Structure 1
Amino acid sequence: MTRRAMVTRLNQIDGHLRSVLNLPRADKATTLEEAIANSAATTEEVLFGDDGEGIALMPAVAQRLLMASLQAQVEARLISGDDSGATARSVIDSIRRLKAAPSLQALERQVCTELCHTIGFSSAVLSSIAADKFIPATSHGTRGTGKPVPRNAAVAEQDCVRFRRIIHAGGDEAPASEGFCEILGAADYLVAPIVVESKVVALVHMSRARGAIADGDVDTLGLLLAVYSFVYERLLNSARVEQLRVSIIGAAARLAEEADRIAGTAVSLDAGGDDDAFATDAAVDAFTAALSNRERDVFARMVRGDSNAEIAEELVVSVETVKTHVKRILRKIGAANRLEAITLYMDAQSRFGEQAR
């Protein structure tokens, strides 16, 4: 692709993205450098800005445009031949690998590897953020992940969280933390925020064993971590949807059990309060003759109005075991469901009472 064609492509993607998100349009770029700068400003505003609402609330078309913009920026740097262009092709491959991560855990493991193999850092560490410390979680090129680093001993890290931007620690910008210097085996390093839903949820530290950290490192790192934040939030929302699905299924099952319990209670309001509802009832003995002792125990509690979970807890068995017993009971006494089984039992009691009179 020519420089002019890339300028046109970046302008189009950036214009569409800003339009979909109701952001003011930037002046149309005429050079490749201007187009890269405009696109980078837009993606930074969307991913890291104070007013960002998170990827989950973006229209699907905006999510696709955001990813297209990030990838186009990498390709544009390759065409421009600037300092970061040398690794741009590797970054494109890295983006594809990050997008293919199947889970949050896999993505966290992958990012440190990509930073070292793609950009050329010698070591990288991903840390979670607690109220009083930074906790290294996964790393690449280090001797283990190291110990937690207190927040009050990490000036660069606090600035990174506060300003939500990449900090060069150990240089003129901010002092390096002894804890992270020890983990990385370096006197200076870069620390970058992972921003999800407009909040800094983690930090990534990187260092070079040889050579100084260059401006191109910062530019390429910003692109790669923007993609990481995008994929992280997408996977996070997928996990939330799955958790919600499981919760809804569980709630529906509990509601069904509660409905069974209420139906049983309504039918057996006149039943006695004895623990064994039919221990000495001759008619019921005949009615339940086909049941095993354990099935009689379960049926007695069904008549009392207990749910499957309550029966399981009282008999110290699993809910699945109770369900199996209930199915066998219904089959043996010829009932279609719990309510019909209890009705048949009440009819048996009633007939026995009439015969006794």
Structure 2
Amino acid sequence: MRVARLHRTDIVQPDGRQVHLYGAFRPPPDDYHAPSMPNGIYQRRWNPLRREWVLVAASRQARTFLPDRAHCPLCPSRAAHSSEIPASHFEAAVFENRFPAMVPGRSSGGGCEVVVYTEEHEGSFATLSPSALDRLAEVWTDRYRELINRRDVRYVFIFENRGEEVGVTLHHPHGQIYAYPFMPPVAAVELRRQSACLQCRLIADELSGRRRVLINDGGIVAYVPGYARWPYEVHVTTRTHREALPSLPPAGRQGLLSAMQRVARAYDRLFAVPMPYMMAMHQAPAGRPSAQAHLHVEFYPVLRDQGKLKYLAGSESGAGVFINDTLAEESADRLRPLFD
């Protein structure tokens, strides 16, 4: 079943944080008691040496750490267990993070949201049903559209961390959205060119060579970039120039997420274990459109081989120079047969 118009219900928790329930839901049990955001200091501090902002959020040290299923804060609420979700059943939910890196109205500015893909505790982005995947496409689009129009937001960053190896503290399938009040460095570098779209040229180059292409279907292209920093890094993008999720029709958004899911599934087959990865979605910033704003998604898997992690060591962390232990062409050859 394809998701058409997605109904959204907005709830304000006693501590002022907003919750958005997408699709059908049932009210929470009578004994529901909403969790409260702890007091904390939220700042952004300028590093004059690197000319970059550092976010300070010391209260995050107290965030929930790998709870068992019975105490999962992303599952539906039930008698004697009040989760972050004020519902005993839901399809998808978004809420303002109780342990954020940024808080609206504080000196840090911006905001942080948690996107709960499904009420099911087990599974991952790779195992979402077609209807749940289509729903998530509309949830992400709705959140981007709303956040990018806030006066205190310059850039909306949709991302997912998967696996304890990359610092995940909750196993329930979810992602996050950071609404930055400034341009983050990676986006600033990508968007600074004023000439024709570089992403469009890169896609054309990949399609002409085809050696590193994994998907070329329905206007969506996935490939291992020749300049990949991570072993088995994959980029997924629209073949034609689209600035952000709202620029795509619903079918285009569904096609994008379907391709993303195929990447995640291929990763899980690569070493026959759930692949830990980081997923980053790059979209247009607030304000005037940039010629370089071309919607694309980057996957950074952290396993370089069976049981071997790719670490960000001295060169990567201290000098900013990545060392990739694999050839992009060989990575593409190894991944391609794993796509369904």
Q: Fold match, TM over 0.5? A: no
Looking at secondary structure, tell me which structure has more helix per residue: 1
Structure with larger Rg:
1
Greater percentage in strand:
2
Q: TM-score, normalised by structure 2?
A: 0.29
Of structures 1 and 2, the one scoring higher in RCO (CA 8 A, sep 6+) is 2
